[in-house]
Chain A
Amino acid sequence: MDHLIGALVGAPLLGAGILLTGGRRLDRTGHWIGCLLSAASFVIGALLFADMLGKSGSARTMTSHLFSWVPVAGFQANVSFQLDQLSMTFVLLITGVGTLIHIYSVGYMEQDENRRRFFGYLNLFLAAMLLLVLADNYLLLYMGWEGVGLASYLLIGFWQHKPSAATAAKKAFIVNRVGDMGLSIAIMVMFATFGSFSFGPVFSHATSASQAKLTVIGLLLLLGACGKSAQVPLQSWLGDAMEGPTPVSALIHAATMVTAGVYLITRSSAIFNAAPAAQLAVTVVGAVTLLFGAIVGCAKDDIKKALAGSTMSQIGYMILAAGLGPIGYVFAIMHLITHGFFKAGLFLGAGSVMHGMNDEVDMRKFGGLRKFMPVTYVTFGLAYLAIIGFPGLSGYWSKDKIIEAAFAKGGTDGWILGGVALLGAGITAFYMTRVMLMTFFGEKRWVPDADGHEPHPHEAPRTMTIPMIILAFGSVFAGGLFSLNSSFLHWLEPVTGHTEGHSPVSTVLIQAATLVVLALGLGLAWVQYGRQAVPAVAPRGSLLTRAARRDLLQDDFNHVALVKPGEYLTRGLVYLDHSVVDGVVNGTAASVGGLSGRMRRLQNGYVRSYAVSMLGGTAVLVAATLLMRGV
């Protein structure tokens, strides 16, 4: 079975290759080729999963060595894969949810003349993400890591005739590159410390390295994770990334890309477990982002941007959990999977709403859509209940565990992190209820689009609704299923390790408190957006609201702190290079070489200049020979 691991990556990669080089003749079948190869990868994943379930213990880790990638003395990077329970979990999420998004896109992108290219990019995205989670060493992981960055660049900028889309794509790539820099330096430190960057040797000797080294590696990996997972301070690309077609948002937010950071930290547990300072930094980043995203999510009127804020916040929960160490890893991944279902459901639902509303995204121009789009309403509604942690649904099981684990960290840290996680649950309930009410309830606030077309909301075609229904099932049942007999914990424990946390407050009390803040958030949203009519134009709002609308001034900060000084620096250097460096070197050259006169004089003819310089050269030569005589 082991040799099938390569095929997991190979199938979507083949799809990308065919679709991107096949040309116009594949326009009519291309999207189905894309779906087929994505589904093929899922089927292979399911076969391997069945095989893995039949084994036990360490036999569940399968490896597959393909070839030696970069063989240089002392430096061995291989193209080889490792499939264990953690990778398997990701494989099923990526290919499963990914395939649903492929199928949905068949309908969503029907009118786009470049649909074939779109599917090529989707396939490339899956291939890169699968490479990322299957690599058995950090350098190959890095290849997938940057591949994901490339695929997101291509997809966010898919409508590149729009300057905003092109800018958003570039921004995503460059912000991610800052994170990638962290990951690449981490690999260098690993190489200098362990002489290797393969998981096996690094993890088994992690504890022999000094604490300082491990902390440095941990912090650099965290920087990488911040980029891909849109965590503070590298969060600014995520909101703009909504410029891509909506299925892309679903793919980036649910199945791929932003989950990569959580994977990286969980995978590197051996390093983080031995570096408490780095772990603390991870939890702080998670907690800050959790609130940051939630606050931004409350203020956005653009349905996709509100959901983007929500993703940041939910990934914040996962990063926080991963930073807690063995009490949190399993729950980080569990929340990642349940989030994969409901966030994909929410984005596909949002896409369906836009599909029926002339691509409108402003929720102030929605309202009352539940009667017109029943399937979208029900599936979106179930995903909504799941994300706010409604008891019994998927999000409830996974988020609750993270809140408990945060308290269980103990000490002041535990209280602060637990408090933040709890508060976040309340804000989540608020902003998601707001989205729900503004979109599906209340009065119609529809307006004609720029070309004067009245919106005629209608349910989306089957290719779009079926994936939404499947995801709704996941949103409802996955969490409960995973928690049945702690099945998910037992599945993942051999890889990530697990210790039971000891909370200073009883579990029941935390659960009760969670329900209380949930009810508060929900009630507050109802008072504001359910009981009162939603104004068509956003009120001015408080200072915080206005700041949150501008993503808490992230872009303003980056502009002042980085972009402007950078512009001045490059402009200054361009001037300097022309006037000073060039001038000085020209001047020195003219005098040192004994080349008579200025450049201009020499432009008259090649022969003359050559003759003059030869003469000068001969003089230098004679002088040098005389000097060397004495040696």
Chain B
Amino acid sequence: MSSFPLLTVTAVVPAVGAIATAAVPAARRTAAKWLALAFSLATLVLAGVIAARFTPGGARYQLSESHAWIADFGVRYELGVDGIAVVLIGLTALLVPFVMLAGWHDADVLEEHRPNRNWRPTQGFFALILLVEAMVVIAFESTDVFLFYIFFEAMLIPMYFLIGGFGDRAGAHSEDEQAKQRSYAAVKFLLYNLLGGLIMLAAVIGLYVVTAHQLGHGTFSLPQILQARAAGQLHMSTTAERWIFLGFFFAFAVKAPLWPLHTWLPNAMGEATAPVAVLITAVVDKVGTFAMLRYCLQLFPNASNWATPVILVLSLISIVYGALLAVGQRDIKRLVAYASISHFGFIILGIFAMTSQGQSGAALYMVNHGVSTAAWLLVAGFLISRRGSRLITDFGGVQKVAPLLAGTFLVGSLAILSLPGLGPFVSEFLVLVGTFTRYPVLGVIATFAIVLAALYVLVLYQRTMTGPVKAGIESMKDLRLRELVVAGPLIALLIFLGVYPKPVTNYINPAVKDTLSDVHKTDPAPQINAVAKETAK
């Protein structure tokens, strides 16, 4: 059994699902939806098997698979997961079924006009989601830099079609204008990320050149590079390390996104349907922050330390700037996008604070941000699709007519503002505390965001859900069963992660410990070690 390629299979299942879904005949679109859902659930089961077979605290990369691929360039097909990858694969596999259920009817509007017999937008929509899932999973699993790069870039293609092809048709403008906006958002998404990717490609080549020069054979294998460095065979010159680091970091910072490279996100999330927006911010963007932890810190520890001050300042700007911009938004989905920018700032702050609490918090934050944004934005999507508008001013008094919708939206909102008892609080506090111990001033400034978050979240809730019932809201239906199946489990999960995050931190902590020793950092010791003194008694 030990040779069973579990990681490959976990990525291949959704890919096969994508092909199968796309092949379903045009007339059988409901069957296509169920088929896609079945494949996503199968992937979730496999993600569970990965978590079960992984031993936290064991070898750094487990369940590894390694095959030569393009021998001439030292490219290998190498997979392996650490605890953080296990958790993020779990998050991806968990969210995709919810995204599908929430977007069950997102493609229906395209079914109305059939230009030809082979017109299959529903099949396309669900196949693209599965394709994204497959690529994200393999990006989390790769331990070969080139393999990672390929999928890091390739996932842009299905995402581009999802954004550009399936808008929510709830904009304020005419159908034509909306199509233009959608197309603009999709192209902007593509260009920003392609640019990041191309710069990264140059850096990837640079890495090859360095390894080829010093080891005699070029390699992209993360374990090999780490081993060579540990053995003293590989010394990157300071300049080379910094340039290559910057190339990697730039790509990840676009994807994450970090201020000032964030402006594609509000467009993309605003124009895409809510489930696709969740796919962008909760799943695809996580590859960016994940890659900072895995590639930037592990491959370029010295350059990471060198760049830390600038990155910390940028992430702090992201946190405060994103929150302030969210306060000023009139469009619900753009508000969510800016809130996400603020939260990505927290994740990056936690990574580069270089403390156990900061990095464990950041890794946990990725999970919590995924779940909480899914809960918040998917319910917001239900709201938007009912009214056919994303403008906050078009809503009011929803609580009166649709209490379940308002109630679930409130829980999602409270998660976003990091209420203790819900998942995001734990990770946000860890990031703050982990930042504070090394950089007190940054920690304090970042804490201001908890007030701003309360502001943008509760103002949105007040304007949409409370007050007198607005015209156009009177006959709004409450959540249907399918929608409750989406919101209910996500809320339960938020509570679970807020009260008992231990199962997740068990996976994360050993990986963070390894990364911190890569960058030669230890946690700042408390001035008075009260705990040690207590136990010594």
Partner of A195, one of B420, B426, B528: B528
CB–CB B502/A73 < 8 A: no
Smallest distance from the beta carbon of B414 to chain A beta carbons, Å? 7
* Interchain CB contact under 8 A, A150 and B191: no
Supposing A72-B505, A74-B357, A631-B209 touch, asked if A573 and B321 sit within 8 A by C-beta, the answer is yes
Chain A residues whose CB sits within 8 angstroms of the CB of B210 once the complex forms: 628, 631
Give the shortest distance, in Å, between B341 (CB) and chain A (any CB): 10
Bound form: Cα–Cα A141–B261 in Å: 39
Task: Flag the segment in A365-373, A445-453, A588-596 that touches B.
Answer: A588-596
Q: Who on chain A is nearest to B202 by CB?
A: A624
- Measured between C-beta atoms, what is the minimum distance from B529 to chain A in Å? 5
A524 to B15, CA, bound (A): 84
How far is B325's CA from A180's CA once the two chains are assembled, in angstroms?
22
Q: Does B58 contact A (CB under 8 A)?
A: no
Query: Does chain A have a CB within 8 A of B223?
Result: no
Question: Which one of B203, B420, B433, B509 lies within 8 Å of A188 (CB-CB)?
Answer: B433
- A574 with B527: CB separation less than 8 A: no
Interface residues in B, total, Cβ within 8 A? 97
Please indicate the chain A residues that have their CB under 8 angstroms from the CB of B469 in the complex: 161
Residues in B with CB closer than 8 Å to A629 are 209
**Residues of the A chain whose Cβ atoms lie less than 8 Å from the Cβ of B499:** 69, 79
Asked if B500 lies at the interface with its beta carbon under 8 angstroms from chain A, I say: yes
Interface string of A50-83 (1 = CB under 8 A from B): 0000000000000000011111111110010000
Q: Which residue, of A20, A582, A616, has the highest number of chain B Cβ atoms within 10 A?
A: A582
A139 touches B (CB below 8 Å): yes
Residue pair B466, A166 in contact (C-beta under 8 Å): yes
Partner of B420, one of A147, A163, A617: A147
Question: Binary interface profile of A, 76-102, with partner B (CB < 8 Å = 1, else 0)?
Answer: 100100000000000000000000000
CA A628 to CA B209, docked complex, whole Å? 7
Chain A residue contacts of B433, Cβ below 8 A: 75, 187-188, 191
Residues of chain B in range 181-210 having any CB-CB distance to chain A below 8 Å: 183-184, 187-188, 190-192, 194-195, 197-199, 201-203, 205-206, 209-210
Task: Give the residues in chain A near B426, CB-CB below 8 Å.
Answer: 69-70
Interface string of A188-214 (1 = CB under 8 A from B): 110111111000111011001110010
In the assembled complex, B399 has its CB within 8 A of some CB on chain A: yes
The answer to whether the Cβ of B327 comes within 8 Å of any Cβ in the partner chain is yes
A574–B360 touching, CB < 8 Å = no
- Which residues in A have their C-beta under 8 angstroms from that of B440? 188, 192
Binds A, one of B275-283, B298-306, B445-453: B445-453
- The reply to whether the CB of B162 lies closer than 8 angstroms to some CB of chain A is no
Q: Which of B192, B321, B327, B450 is in CB contact (< 8 Å) with A180?
A: B450
**Are A628 and B240 touching (Cβ within 8 A)?**
yes
Q: Are B360 and A192 in contact (CB under 8 A)?
A: no
Determine whether A569 belongs to the interface, using a CB cutoff of 8 Å to chain B: yes
> Is A173 in contact with chain B by the CB < 8 A criterion?
yes
Contacts of B526 in A (CB 8 A): 191-196
B77 in the interface (beta carbon within 8 A): no
B395 CB, min distance to chain A CBs, angstroms: 13
Q: Please report the C-alpha to C-alpha distance between residue A153 and residue B206 in the assembled complex, in whole angstroms.
A: 55
What residues of A have a CB within 8 angstroms of the CB of B513 in the complex?
73
> Which of B25-33, B42-50, B140-148, B455-463 makes up part of the contact surface?
B455-463
- The answer for the CA separation of A570 and B330 in the assembled complex, in Å, is 12
CB distance from A303 to the nearest CB of B (A): 25
- The interface residues of chain B lying within 8 Å CB-to-CB of A165 are 466
A136 to B403, CA, bound (A): 37
Say if the beta carbon of A355 comes within 8 Å of chain B: no
Q: Is A46 an interface residue (CB 8 A)?
A: no
Cβ–Cβ contact B454 & A573, under 8 A = no
Contact of B213 with A by CB under 8 A: yes
Task: Give residues of chain B (230-271) contacting chain A, Cβ–Cβ below 8 Å.
Answer: 237, 239-240, 247, 259-261, 263
Cβ B436 vs Cβ A188 within 8 A: yes
Task: Determine the residue in chain A with the shortest Cβ distance to B188.
Answer: A599
Q: Which of B191, B260, B421 touches A613 (beta carbons < 8 Å)?
A: B191
Residue of B nearest to A149 (CB): B419
Give Cα distance in the complex from A128 to B213, angstroms: 62
Pick the contact of A72: B160, B357, B400, B532 (CB < 8 A): B357
Q: Do the beta carbons of A67 and B260 come within 8 Å of each other?
A: no
Query: Which of B260, B414, B430 is within 8 Å of A150, CB to CB?
Result: B414
Further 14 A-B residue pairs, CB within 8 A, beyond A73-B360, A585-B261: A143-B420, A147-B419, A170-B462, A185-B436, A191-B436, A194-B527, A195-B531, A209-B527, A581-B263, A585-B260, A606-B164, A606-B190, A609-B190, A628-B205
Name 13 A/B residue pairs within 8 A (Cβ), A-sorted: A177-B450, A180-B450, A188-B433, A191-B526, A196-B526, A205-B528, A570-B324, A573-B321, A573-B328, A603-B180, A610-B194, A620-B199, A629-B209
